[in-house]
Structure 1
C-alpha cells in the first residue's frame, strides 16, 4: 500500500550488500527520478492558482512562527550535541529552510488540506527571501 517504504527497503538492501542495478534499470530509474521535481512543481503550481486569501493569512502566520522556533530548536540541539561551529550552523540553516514541495504531494495524496499546505510552501518560500540572507549573515 505504500510503495515508498518498499523502495526505501530495497534501496537499503542494495546499498548494504553493495549490489548494483543492471545498466538498463539504472538508466530507467535515473530518467524517472529526473521527472520528479518538475512534476511536483507543476502540481504545486496548479494548487497555487486556486489559493485563497484565507489560506495566505494562515500560511504567513505559520511561517512567521515556524522559522524562529525551528532555528531555536536547531540551535539548542546543536549545542546539546556539542557540534563544531560549521556543523552547528548547517543544522540551524537546514532547519530554517522553507516548507518542502514534497509535503504538498503527501497532503494531496492523503487528501488532507493540500490547499493549506500549498499556502505554507508559498508563504515560507517568499519569507525565506527575507530571512535567509539575515540568517546566513548571522551564522557566518
Structure 2
C-alpha cells in the first residue's frame, strides 16, 4: 500500500476487484513489426505488468490479455472517489527488436468506472503520432468491503 494511504482512515478506503481485458490495437499504418504493452497502476495489489510481443496482421495487433488486481480507492472528504489512474503504454520494436519506441499511451481514471459493470470501448491512443485505437473491456468492479 502506498505511504499516503496509511494516514487515511479505514472508513474512507475501499477495495475493488479490477478485471481488464485488452483486446487489440487497430488502425496501425504499418504492415509489419511487433508491438507489446506495459501497464502501471498505483494503489493496487499488482501495480505493473506487460504482454508478450505480438505481430501486426492486417494493420492490427491482437493481444487478448487480462489484467487482474485489487485496487485501493480513497473516498475524499467531499464524499467522492479520488482519482486512480491506469496507464497503458504501447511499445513498438524497431531494428529486429534491438530498439523500442513508445508509440502512444492510454490513461484511464478508474474511479470514473465504479459501478458501470462490464463495458467494451475503443480508445484513441494519447501522445501518439498515429490514430490507432485500443479496444479494452471495461472493468468489472465488485466492492470487497465498505
- Give the structure-1-normalised TM-score: 0.25
Q: Please, what TM-score do these two structures have when normalized by structure 2?
A: 0.25
Question: Larger % of strand: which?
Answer: 2
Higher share in helix:
1
- Higher Cα Rg: structure 1 or 2? 1
